[in-house]
Structure 1
């Protein structure tokens, strides 16, 4: 396959990235590539640093594999370079190519298409926290952001800490709770049945502590869009037809994908084996959050509309 030679400018950027990575002790150099470069030459210019190539272009992916370079395939190209970089970092962590909390040096075309001209230093812990808040805001759902934030925070806490030192996997379905209840059945007596609504508030610390205890039961919690626990210990019955999930995902994830496809709810799973949190909407994984060593911090974003012109 024909390769694109690296230019003098690109080589200079690679040398600068190599020196920067050595100085800050970065874990790797991550290259967002749209062209099938001679990745052997790229690796040589990058020096001893681990080189990761990320791309959604099949020819770029083939060239990287042929040159024996660690490849991070991107399924769908995001709207911006920043979103593409975010996806690449998440995929690299999920594939155990990078560890949460480390620093990486990222190279990408920031100003000119197909020209690697920009270098950034990314702290993965801080980056993933900002990514999560932004991506939740992008979800097209009638579930209020505040409710999603509370449930995701608790899911991440369960994924990170487990319960009494043991790993725990569980599922939450948020929103469209009446239909979710119709498409599920109880496996235990509902522990929240009979309690007044104010005593089932998700924001209440006692309620969250109860959820963490009942999460050891391998079934789902149903949460209303306004943030109340409707039921626990539910078995999700939605049919898993027409779904496509990554290899290695088990029945919990298939059930979550199916219920999110059959209803307007957002399904949130916690993997027992890895602690990874996934958000499903319309049968698709919309967001994956890897367990971090510290609690997630949410940031509020304020936007000012552009001035109008007459």
Structure 2
């Protein structure tokens, strides 16, 4: 007999508030909440399996509690969704009896022979009428979650981290990418994901090479003991899949983690939750100008964290606009002494007179201020350590001989020119297209195109 660990069972339960009044409506809501898209499962097939099971034998467990369940053709083990209704659901039971708790259990092929143990564990978890009433009376989903954890004997500080299910396609793509990385002797494997919980860590257990993660949700609290793992948090949700990889390569290159000649294997997908594409590239293809940079004596070097922060700001401005309208922007980072020799102030500098620690881009509280000042014509001048020297600054360099795509406007021409005549990096946001472009040594070294998910 298999003993089901209540802690493992509870840590996988998804919780939703039910508004449906009928059994059919409530079960449909629970099936949708189970999120089958990443598994390639049609929710209608899940509904059909549950209805067949309900027709054979009703799954009403108590006057206030039902446990609908079914088998489906799925490679997973089980998925559980708990629905709580404050207004009651007509479950088709005895007259006048309506349920307020419905726990949906969907069982895959792995547990077809042992599903009774899972059902028994769920029944044991919810057998107490007093405990069920506590769930019904709970203030919100968070309170329900805490009650379940406590009932399972899990201390809040030791609760498991609930990550999303990993699609089988993602696992297979990462395994294939690892084989490719090893066969090519590539210098790194790069994954562009929404958050670290979307990474199939088990598939990476035997991979000993350099791993680069580009995430769009903050990963600072992620506790990892893996060697040679490098995480770059950046808001890339509005970028195309190719640009997510390009962004990761740029950040890794600027941090000294890549060389020009050796390959990097990149795994991306249509979003950060599912990976379905593998690409092999060499940093020199996109970042020759970046990697061959020789800083002149006395020029302030751009810190990788500063470049990442400004890139994030640029991407957010491209995606969000300002006051429901698209806007453009120009950031010039590093070699500020030389940059200022090619500039003049158009308007009163809004950063003048403030202490250095109050005007550093690494301070998250400055983000909204920077976005607001992006409405002012002119450029932001930023030192390599992140200190913002000015906004609304007019740049006056001579034209650059570097490569700038035909049809780009004065902002991009200016960015190319200032990066050609100084050791600075220039980052532009196109008002018309939302494209974020990085210039170095007079040339465009990276273009990040907006994918269309914008707020204006």
The TM tier, using the shorter chain, reads 0.5 to 0.7
User: Deviations along 1:1-44, whole A, 9 cap, x unmatched?
Assistant: xxxxxxxxxxxxxxxxxxxxxxx9xxxxxxxxxxxxxxxxxxxx
Query: What CA distance in whole angstroms lies between the structure 1 residues aligned with 2:315 and 2:305?
Result: 15
User: Deviations along 1:238-292, whole A, 9 cap, x unmatched?
Assistant: 1004244221100000000000001001000000001100000011000000124
Look up the SS of the partner of 2:323 in the other structure.
coil
State whether structure 2 residue 252 is matched by structure 1 residue 137: yes
Query: What CA distance in whole angstroms lies between the structure 2 residues aligned with 1:238 and 1:136?
Result: 27
Question: How large is the RMSD of aligned CA atoms in angstroms?
Answer: 2.2
Which among 135, 153, 156 is matched to residue 312 of structure 2?
Answer: 153
User: Deviations along 1:205-261, whole A, 9 cap, x unmatched?
Assistant: 332211101101121001110111111111111100424422110000000000000
Aligned partner of 1:19 in structure 2 is none
Query: What CA distance in whole angstroms lies between the structure 2 residues aligned with 1:163 and 1:241?
Result: 30
Query: What CA distance in whole angstroms lies between the structure 1 residues aligned with 2:326 and 2:335?
Result: 29
Query: What CA distance in whole angstroms lies between the structure 1 residues aligned with 2:364 and 2:452?
Result: 22
Aligned partner of 2:406 in structure 1 is 247
Query: What CA distance in whole angstroms lies between the structure 2 residues aligned with 1:252 and 1:180?
Result: 15
- Residue ranges of structure 2 left out of the alignment (5+ in a row): 1-39, 41-183, 187-238, 254-289, 294-300
Which among 257, 260, 281 is matched to residue 440 of structure 2?
Answer: 281
Which among 422, 426, 431 is matched to residue 263 of structure 1?
Answer: 422
**Whose RCO is larger (CA < 8 A, sep 6+)?**
1
Query: What CA distance in whole angstroms lies between the structure 1 residues aligned with 2:374 and 2:412?
Result: 15
Deviation at 1:199, TM superposition (A): 0.4
Call closer, same or farther: CA 1:125–1:243 in 2, change over 3 Å. closer
Aligned partner of 2:339 in structure 1 is 180
Look up the SS of the partner of 1:267 in the other structure.
strand
- Residue ranges of structure 1 left out of the alignment (5+ in a row): 1-23, 25-79, 83-123, 296-310
Deviation at 1:131, TM superposition (A): 2.1
Q: After alignment, is 210-219 or 273-282 more displaced?
A: 210-219
TM-score relative to the length of structure 2: 0.36
Query: What CA distance in whole angstroms lies between the structure 2 residues aligned with 1:202 and 1:247?
Result: 32
Call closer, same or farther: CA 1:241–1:254 in 2, change over 3 Å. same
Look up the SS of the partner of 1:193 in the other structure.
coil
Q: After alignment, is 130-139 or 282-291 more displaced?
A: 130-139
Query: What CA distance in whole angstroms lies between the structure 2 residues aligned with 1:185 and 1:209?
Result: 25
Over alpha carbons, which structure has the higher Rg?
2
Q: Is contact 2:381–2:390 with CA below 8 Å preserved after alignment?
A: yes
Aligned partner of 2:359 in structure 1 is 200
1:286-305 alignment, distance < 5 Å: 286-292=445-451
Q: Is contact 2:416–2:442 with CA below 8 Å preserved after alignment?
A: yes
The count of aligned residue pairs is 175
Q: Is contact 2:322–2:371 with CA below 8 Å preserved after alignment?
A: yes
